[in-house]
Amino acid sequence: MINIQKKIRLDQYTTFKIGGPADFFVAITSLADLQEALSWAQKNKQNILFLGGGSNTLISDRGFRGLVIKNEISGIELVRENAKAVWLKAQSGEWWSSLVNHAVLHNYYGAENLFLIPGTVGAAPMQNIGAYGVELKDVFCSLEAVEIRTGKLKKFNKADCDFGYRYSIFKGKLKHKYFIYSVTLKLNKTPKFKLDYGDIQKTLAEKKIINPNAREVVSVIMEIRNSKLPNPSVLPNAGSFFKNSEISLAALKKLQKKFPDVKFFPATKGVKVPAGWLIEQCGFKGKVIGKVGIHEKQALVLVNYGGAKASQVINLADKIMTCVRSKFGLKLECEINYIE
């Protein structure tokens, strides 16, 4: 039997530590709990908001008018293996880094570069999380999702998910229609590390590590992330606030005429211009306005310095986007989910 509570503040459930109260709130630990919560919401004509780890999320100051379902369904199991690979299935309320760490401890390879991305397993396919040259789709096999309208469980293969840059069908055509219940990864039994992105190779060289193992790669990833990104438990934030700008090669050449030192890296179509670089060129890096600001080491991260309101964060984000559009002619897109 689920326990539905009233007027629960949501700031305590997000890494930004921002958000007003929910009309109704329930924590679930099983599929049966979920189906009961969905049935209750339908009978009582309530809107639904799912919360996992609360990262990548900004909730409005007015809170949420409806039922917030906090996902605490956990568990990891080996469901299949052959001579070359294993298939790991994790429940959607499991912490993402716990899944990566589980794989590393059992010598299952492929997800190392995704270590320390905040949030739960269920959030990973929603926006096809990625870091250091690896995306979820590179190790993804399938997922199970519950249709919100009917409560029925459905399986989605990789092709069904329509993965793109920080995108999946669950952010597009199927947005608000499914609850991701479990995710299955296909991982290798032999290592094939991707070390040519960011400072990974450089950091390994500094440590005199020539042939790293998975634990060493994860250790380096953790060191790099901690040196550049603020810990949400110390400085509340939602991770990367903006997506990198994807532009064509023709657009890049045009941009280079005015900004010869523009940073970029290859993308599936054209190139990506780092949003952090664009924001830094606009003079926002390290800037503090009232109780919100841009982190001094990573311009992609907006920070709550204590008691900030969602409206203040949005105002700052608007100023940043306006400046980037005016200076570079590029439109920044928010990566975080803003719940109004």
Active site residue ranges? 166, 240, 335
Residue whose C-alpha is closest to residue 204's, from 113, 323, 75: 113
The CA distance from 303 to 319, in Å, is 15
Contact 211, 193 (CB under 8 A): no
The CA distance from 126 to 211, in Å, is 34
Instruction: Give backbone dihedrals phi and psi of 40, rounded to 5 degrees, phi first.
Output: -65, -45
The CA distance from 215 to 222, in Å, is 10
The CA distance from 171 to 325, in Å, is 24
For residue 29, CA distances in Å to 35, 181, 189, 197 come to 11, 11, 31, 37
For residue 149, CA distances in Å to 142, 144, 145 come to 21, 15, 12
Contact 182, 199 (CB under 8 A): no
Contact 137, 160 (CB under 8 A): no
Contact 68, 49 (CB under 8 A): yes
The CA distance from 14 to 37, in Å, is 21
Say whether 222 sits in a helix, a strand or coil: helix
Instruction: Give backbone dihedrals phi and psi of 168, rounded to 5 degrees, phi first.
Output: -150, 175
The CA distance from 265 to 118, in Å, is 24
